[in-house]
């Protein structure tokens, strides 16, 4: 019974984490695909768009927030799938199967499809997710700040542009 309970809990957790991965991926694509002028215009009459405007005022921090959130959930997915698969297969084949299964799940349901949906519904989705993304930024504030500062500094050390989000912004 305990084995079945663990398996079901792992599958449920994986599905929920895939939804989180889809959220972060679709949010990134939707938000960064919008022209700044549209955001500014919409912010004049919509509270959620004002939150969106606040987020895009610091696009580097916004991108760091989305990437940290997405990577945390994707690593958790990988860990859970690996635990589930290793309970049924020997360690060697289990790692290969877990890697393949996780890659397919994350690419399809956490990246490709969500990014397509985010791009296709960019205006509506961006204002819908902005308050949630802001909440994640606040919740993970110290972690986001560390990655924000570190990525800016690393970029300058390697003579790169510290603005990693630049290709996404008007």
Q: State the pLDDT at residue 155.
A: 80
- Cβ 73 vs Cβ 24: under 8 Å: yes
Give backbone dihedrals phi and psi of 55, rounded to 5 degrees, phi first: -65, -45
pLDDT digits (tens, 9 = 90+) for 25-84: 999 999 999 999 999 999 999 999 999 999 999 999 999 999 999 999 999 999 999 999
């Amino acid at each position: 019974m305990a084995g079945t309970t663990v398996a079901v809990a792992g599958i449920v957790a994986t599905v929920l984490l895939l939804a989180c991965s889809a959220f972060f991926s679709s949010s990134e694509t939707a938000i960064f695909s919008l022209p700044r002028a549209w955001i500014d215009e919409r912010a004049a009459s919509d509270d959620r768009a004002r939150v969106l405007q606040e987020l895009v005022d610091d696009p580097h921090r916004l991108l760091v927030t989305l990437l940290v959130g997405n990577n945390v959930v994707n690593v958790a997915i990988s860990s859970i799938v690996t635990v589930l698969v290793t309970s049924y297969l020997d360690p060697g084949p289990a790692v290969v199967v877990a890697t393949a299964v996780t890659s397919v799940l994350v690419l399809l349901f956490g990246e490709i499809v969500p990014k397509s949906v985010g791009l296709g519904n960019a205006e509506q989705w961006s204002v819908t997710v902005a308050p949630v993304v802001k909440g994640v930024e606040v919740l993970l504030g110290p972690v986001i700040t560390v990655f924000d500062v570190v990525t800016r500094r690393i970029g300058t050390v390697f003579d790169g542009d510290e603005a990693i989000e630049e290709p996404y912004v008007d």
